Chains A and B, each alone.
Chain A
Amino acid sequence: GAVVSQHPSRVICKSGTSVKIECRSLDFQATTMFWYRQFPKQSLMLMATSNEGSKATYEQGVEKDKFLINHASLTLSTLTVTSAHPEDSSFYICSARDRLAGTLDDEQYFGPGTRLTVT
C-alpha cells in the first residue's frame, strides 16, 4: 500500500516554543492531507484539511493561528504548533488521499504519528 511518513516521530519541546511536524506522501501525490489529534485512550479528532496550494480548512474549535498548516506541494504538508503549551501535548497523525482517488472506497493512508510532549 501507499506510504505516508511523518517527521519527527517524537518531539519534546519547552513551553512557548514552536514545533514543526512534516507529513510526506512517499509514492503518490496527495492533493488533500488531513491532520488529526489523538489524546490518550481517545479517538482521532480531525483538526484540519489541507489542500495543496490553498488555505487549510480548520474544524470548529481548532485555532488556526496556533496550528499553522502549509501544504506547499503534492507530497508535503506541515503542521506547526506555535507557542506550544503543555495542553498541546498529544499524538498528531497525518493522513493523505491519493490525487487519483475519486471514489468512496479510496483509501486514506495514515502516517505513523508524532508524539509531542510540551514541558
Chain B
Amino acid sequence: AQKITQTQPGMFVQEKEAVTLDCTYDTSDPSYGLFWYKQPSSGEMIFLIYQGSYDQQNATEGRYSLNFQKARKSANLVISASQLGDSAMYFCAMREYGQNFVFGPGTRLSVLP
C-alpha cells in the first residue's frame, strides 16, 4: 500500500506568490517523522523541513512551513513568496520509528516569472 501520496504531479505558481504542495501519509505507528526534500535539476536532495508526530506546532523554516494535520494524516508544504529558484521536484517522505525513509512520488513545481 502506498504510504505517501502526493496527488499533484505538477504545479505552477506565479513568482512572489505562495503555493501549497500536498502530502498525505498512512501509518499506524504513533511515532514517525515527516520530511520534505527539494530536488533541483542537478539531482541533489536538499532537506527543507521536518515535522515530528508529537510536535504540537507546525514546523517553519524561513519561507517553508509545514501544515501538519495529524487527524487527517496530511503534511502539506507551504512555500511563501515563491522565487524562480524554487522550481524543482519536491518529495514528501516519512520515517516510522526504527524504519527507513519512504518517499512520495513527488511534485514538480514550476515558478513563473
A interface list, Cβ under 8 A from B: 1, 34, 38, 42-44, 46, 49, 91, 93, 95, 104-105, 107-113, 115
Question: Are A104's CB and B52's CB within 8 A?
Answer: yes
**B57 interfacial contact with A, CB 8 Å:** no
The chain A residue with its CB closest to the CB of B106 is A43
Given A1-B47, A38-B43, A112-B43, 13 other A-B contacts at CB below 8 A?
A: A42-B106, A43-B104, A44-B91, A44-B103, A46-B100, A91-B43, A95-B101, A104-B31, A104-B32, A105-B33, A105-B50, A108-B101, A110-B37
Query: Known contacts being A107-B50, A112-B43, A112-B44, is A43 close to B91, with CB within 8 Å?
Result: yes
Bound together, the chains give a CA A91 to CA B42 distance in angstroms of: 11
Annotate B94-106 by CB proximity to A: 1 below 8 A, 0 otherwise. 0101001101111
For chain B, the bracket of interface size reads 20 to 34
The chain A residue with its CB closest to the CB of B95 is A104
The chain B residue with its CB closest to the CB of A34 is B100
The chain A residue with its CB closest to the CB of B47 is A107
User: For residues 5 through 59 of chain B, which have their beta carbon under 8 Å from a beta carbon of chain A?
Assistant: 31-33, 37, 42-45, 47, 50, 52-53
CB neighbours (8 Å) of A34 from chain B are: 100-101
Question: Are B106's CB and A105's CB within 8 A?
Answer: no
The chain A residue with its CB closest to the CB of B55 is A105
Task: Specify which of A46, A105, A108, A115 is in contact with B43 (CB 8 Å cutoff).
Answer: A115
Bound together, the chains give a CA A91 to CA B91 distance in angstroms of: 16
Bound together, the chains give a CA A67 to CA B32 distance in angstroms of: 30
CB neighbours (8 Å) of A46 from chain B are: 100-101
* Closest-CB distance, A6 to chain B (whole angstroms): 10
Considering residues A44, A109, A111, which has the most beta carbons from chain B within 10 angstroms of its beta carbon? A44
* Closest-CB distance, B8 to chain A (whole angstroms): 14
CB neighbours (8 Å) of B45 from chain A are: 44, 93, 95, 110
CB neighbours (8 Å) of B42 from chain A are: 112
Question: Are A43's CB and B103's CB within 8 A?
Answer: yes
Query: Known contacts being A44-B103, A105-B50, A105-B52, is A110 close to B91, with CB within 8 Å?
Result: no
